[in-house]
Structure 1
Amino acid sequence: MLSDSSAAVVRATLPAVGASLDEITERFYSGMFAARPELLRDLFNRGNQAAGTQRRALAASIAAFAAHLLDHPEQRPDAMLSRIAHKHASLGVRPEQYAIVHEHLFAAIADVLGDAVTPEVAAAWDEVYWLMAHALTALEKRLYEESGEPTWRRWEVVERVAETADVATFRLRPADGGPVPGFRAGQYVSVRVPLADGARQIRQYSLSGAPGAGLRQISVKRVRGEAAAPDGEVSNHLHAHLRRGDALELSAPYGDLVLGDAPGTPLLLASAGIGVTPVAAMLARLAEDGHRGPVTVVHGDRSPAEHALRAEQEAYAGKLADAAVHLWYEQDAPAGARTGYVDLAEVPVAPGTRAYLCGPLPFMRSVRAQLIDRGVAPADIHYEVFGPDLWLGAN
């Protein structure tokens, strides 16, 4: 809980701080990476830094956390904090790194706002920061303890499958021959790879296979034409270099887009593009559990040739007692599929439906709005963002 004195200062200064957050976070990252270049090389996503998406996500999270403290002083924004904590745990973030962030973030705040940062203002925002940092540290500690796995573990590729021209599935087993702990359908792992310039970059990929299969499976979409650009460097590396028998470092599974335990609940699983990966794992779990409630599968893609894991989607749906698959393609739609973007106007949505969305932000915004119009409660619409979450607070 934010103290009364700090709450008054934060309320008075939030408009000014919020208006400057983009500049503050830009200077923060520049200063921190100049002082600690190993963080950009081995921890932060260089693609997201180059595109500015991580900076915008940090600014949004700080503003959202501060606003929540003011508007709901008796509550924490646990949904937002949980999402961030899962991502941090998958990266191996440690408590001592919050002090590094604090040092450079507050230097950037003082640099941008100048004399407006009085001792009282600095103390109030310092309280906001440490409330958020300590909450995340506690959540991350619990996640590490619950995982029961080391931060990084070597896995061996036992099979590589070309799903489409740009998507490859890698099936992996522990290189140490040890057991494969379970995971929850919808979760992801971090993959850490050594690159030619000496960096060890980390990316997250959803687990796309059945949770109880005795292997871990990821399906990676290559960013074509950008092999030398930061935002495609890991996916291109995996496509170019990872073959059967090769080893790969994986984190434990994390992520909070997971199926709840409700055997008869109507479900709607909506995906677009490579967002199909967590949906495939969810369908595998539902088929394995013998889910009896209605399941509606919705997917949009550019064309059937670019629709990865389609056979798995349809096969798992076919094993369910009450399931329907609805497909949209921008071009070359075959019989039984629709042409264009996903439109739920003619898709039955049962009362009490719980929805799970994964795909590009415009797709998820559109589907979420359509579901709400159809009577689905916002609290029952869950989502996963691939990359920094610029949609904070949607739930």
Structure 2
Amino acid sequence: MLSPKSTEIVRATLPAVGGAIGEITPLFYDKMFAERPDLLRDLFNRGNQANGSQRQALAGAIAAFATALVEHPDVRPDAMLSRIAHKHAALGVTAEQYELVRRHLFAAIAEVLGEAVTPEVAAAWDEVYWLMANALIALEARLYEGAGVPAGEVFVPCRVVARHRETADVATFEVRPLDGRELPAGRPGQYVSVRVELPDGARQIRQYSLSGWPDDALRFSVKRVPGDPAGEVSNHLHDHVDVGAELRVSLPFGDVVLADGDRPVVLVSAGIGCTPMVGMLAHLAATGSTRRVIAVHADRSEADHAFREDVRRLVEKLPDAEAHVWYERPEGEWPAERTGYADLSAIDVPADAVVYLCGPLPFMRAARAQLLAAGVAAADLHYEVFGPDLWLGADA
């Protein structure tokens, strides 16, 4: 809880800091990478730095946390903190790195806001920072302890034992540890980090959802990312990594996981957002679940729809399951009412369902609005974002 004096100062200065956060975060990253270029080379996603999404996510997290402290002082935003902690643990972030971040962040704040940053203002925002940082450090420590590894030691040398082509631009990789150790299978909905060495020597890391449960292996799926900047790691995996190759893969992490129980489950995805959903379906089928299951997916066309046959097969295995699919550009005969964008208002969604969303943010926002209108509780709507979370503030 923020002290009363700091609460008043943060409340008074939040508009100024929030208004300048778009200037503060780029300057912060520039300062930190100037001192530690290895962090940009080997830890931070260079693509997200180039397109600005990581900076937006940091700005959103700071603003959301500070706002929560002053508007709801007795309630910690645990959902947001849990999400960040899992992302950090999957990257091997350690407690010592938080002081480095604080130093460069406050230098950037002081440079942008100038004389407005009095000692009292600096002290109040320092309190905000350490409330957030210490909460994350504690959460991450528990995640490392639960994984049975020292802090930050989450990467395991693995060998690719299988590779499958799902679509023209989606490939699935199965990996096993080189030393034969037993890895935790992960929970349905979780992801792993994959570190590869690129031609320029950078060891870049990306996170991919687990898309199934093979024996004694981890299975994740990767979509090729075109554009400028193109996906460095995804394209490297597609072009240069085949059966027999070695990769460093993290233990599984992620807080958006399939809940136990007997309540109805609704899985809503678009594009490559189907990867955690097919993992959840595979788990439900493997455990003989009798839960009501509704799988909803939207894609550009049949050819772009990864795991199309897997979903059909898994839904058929479940005694009370159905699948609904929309294509923007169907390639053959296809119902007119299932052409275009997904329309969840056309589906009878149980009001007591637990819902999982994954896909582009505009898709998830539209789907969430329709589900709320259908009577699903906001607390039962859970979402996974690939890359920086730019949806902070939504109920999850």
Tell me the TM-score normalized by structure 1: 0.97
Structure 2 residue aligned with 1:277: 275
Q: Which residue identity does 1:236 align to in structure 2? A: N
Q: 1:169 is matched with which residue: 159, 166, 172?
A: 172
- Please give the secondary structure, in 1, of the residue aligned with 2:211: coil
- Please give the secondary structure, in 1, of the residue aligned with 2:50: helix
Structure 1 residue aligned with 2:101: 101
Structure 1 residue aligned with 2:160: 157
> What is the CA distance between 1:345 and its match in structure 2?
2.3
Q: Which residue identity does 1:108 align to in structure 2? A: A
- Please give the secondary structure, in 2, of the residue aligned with 1:115: helix
Matched, 1:254 2:245: no
Alpha-carbon separation, structure 1, partners of 2:334 and 2:377: 29
- Please give the secondary structure, in 2, of the residue aligned with 1:84: helix
Structure 1 residue aligned with 2:220: 218
Q: Which residue identity does 1:61 align to in structure 2? A: A
Structure 2 residue aligned with 1:232: 231
Alpha-carbon separation, structure 2, partners of 1:333 and 1:82: 41
> What is the CA distance between 1:42 and its match in structure 2?
0.5
Structure 2 residue aligned with 1:292: 290
Q: Which residue identity does 1:315 align to in structure 2? A: R
Please, which runs of 5 or more residues in structure 1 have no aligned partner?
Answer: none
- Please give the secondary structure, in 1, of the residue aligned with 2:298: strand
Structure 2 residue aligned with 1:80: 80
> What is the CA distance between 1:313 and its match in structure 2?
1.1
Alpha-carbon separation, structure 2, partners of 1:21 and 1:331: 40
Alpha-carbon separation, structure 1, partners of 2:92 and 2:82: 15
Q: Given that residues 6 and 127 in structure 1 are in contact (C-alpha distance below 8 angstroms), is that contact kept between their aligned partners in structure 2?
A: yes
Give deviations 1:181-238, integer Å, cap 9, x for gaps: 221000000000001111100000001012x632111110001355xx3x41100100
Q: Which residue identity does 2:72 align to in structure 1? A: H
Alpha-carbon separation, structure 1, partners of 2:8 and 2:142: 32
Question: How big is the alpha-carbon RMSD for the aligned residues of Structure 1 and Structure 2?
Answer: 1.2
Q: Say how many residue pairs are matched.
A: 390
> Could you list the runs of 4 or more consecutive aligned residues of structure 1 that deviate by over 3 angstroms after TM superposition?
333-337
Alpha-carbon separation, structure 2, partners of 1:346 and 1:366: 14
Alpha-carbon separation, structure 2, partners of 1:126 and 1:101: 12
Identity, % of aligned positions: 62
Q: How is 1:200-215 mapped onto 2 (pairs within 5 angstroms)?
A: 200-210=203-213, 213-215=215-217
Give deviations 1:106-165, integer Å, cap 9, x for gaps: 000000000000000000000000000000000000001111254110111111111111
- Please give the secondary structure, in 2, of the residue aligned with 1:76: coil
Q: Given that residues 167 and 308 in structure 1 are in contact (C-alpha distance below 8 angstroms), is that contact kept between their aligned partners in structure 2?
A: yes
Tell me the TM-score normalized by structure 2: 0.96
Structure 1 residue aligned with 2:376: 376
Structure 2 residue aligned with 1:342: 342
Structure 2 residue aligned with 1:191: 194
Q: Given that residues 166 and 224 in structure 1 are in contact (C-alpha distance below 8 angstroms), is that contact kept between their aligned partners in structure 2?
A: no
